[in-house]
């Protein structure tokens, strides 16, 4: 089959999922730094940072799973992508409120977290695009059956509407 035998849609989805995977790893690294620092100092880990790392981990695992070609045809894929998108909305909201208007005043940790907020926004947008295009892909490639009995499988461009010529 080779690289040139693959469908363009699969290649574009693979590129999108690769970007989602890389950005999820970036978030894990940015927020994991503070979690590791808290662990070494024997203090509690803030739940907000744990939540961000969990969302990043779920995103990374999901994007790896989405590399499997036939997986995108399942109806749950856009629904799960929507869940991940909503989780990223929460991460961006939490850390955006904390750091967007914060003045770093030379503090490298605050500067890092301000940058992390924008990485969160990129993740949010990537998962939004993945959700919308995943739903469109599923809708275009779902298996269709005839209207009355449900036994006949219709072609890709077939409609289940009756023709006006057959109406009495």
pLDDT band of 56, cuts 50, 70, 90: very high
Q: What is the pLDDT of residues 100-150, one digit of tens each?
A: 998 888 888 899 999 999 999 999 999 999 999 988 887 877 666 556 665
Q: What is the pLDDT of residues 62-89, one digit of tens each?
A: 999 998 877 777 778 899 999 999 999 9
Sign of CA pseudo-dihedral 158, 8, 62, 124:
negative
For residue 57, the Cα-to-chain-centroid distance in whole angstroms is 11
Predicted pLDDT at 6: 62
Predicted pLDDT at 1: 47
E strands along 2-160, which residues? 144-145, 153-154
23: left (phi over 0), alpha (psi -120 to 50) or beta: alpha
Which pTM does this prediction carry? 0.79
**What gap in Å lies between CA 7 and CA 10, rounded to an integer?**
5
CA Rg, the chain, in Å?
Answer: 22
Return the biggest CA–CA distance within the chain. 81
Which residues, including other chains, have CB under 8 Å from residue 12's CB and lie 6 or more apart? Answer: none
**What gap in Å lies between CA 77 and CA 71, rounded to an integer?**
8
SS3 for 86?
Answer: helix
Higher per-residue confidence, 71 vs 20: 20
Higher per-residue confidence, 167 vs 123: 123
The domain spans of the chain are 3-154+161-166
Higher per-residue confidence, 155 vs 135: 135
């Amino acid at each position: 089959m080779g690289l040139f035998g693959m469908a363009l849609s699969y290649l574009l989805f693979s590129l999108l999922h690769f970007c989602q995977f890389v950005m999820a790893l970036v978030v894990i690294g940015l927020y994991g730094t503070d979690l590791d620092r808290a662990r070494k100092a024997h203090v509690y880990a803030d739940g907000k940072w744990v939540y961000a790392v969990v969302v990043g981990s779920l995103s990374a695992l999901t994007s790896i799973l989405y590399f499997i070609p036939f997986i995108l045809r399942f109806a749950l894929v856009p629904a799960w992508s929507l869940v991940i998108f909503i989780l990223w909305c929460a991460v961006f909201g939490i850390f955006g409120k904390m750091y967007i208007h914060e003045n770093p005043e030379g503090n490298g940790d605050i500067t890092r977290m301000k940058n992390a907020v924008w990485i969160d926004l990129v993740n949010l947008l990537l998962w939004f695009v993945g959700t919308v295009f995943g739903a469109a892909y599923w809708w275009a490639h779902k298996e269709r059956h005839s209207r009355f009995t449900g036994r006949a499988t219709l072609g890709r461009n077939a409609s289940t509407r009756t023709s006006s010529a057959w109406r009495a």
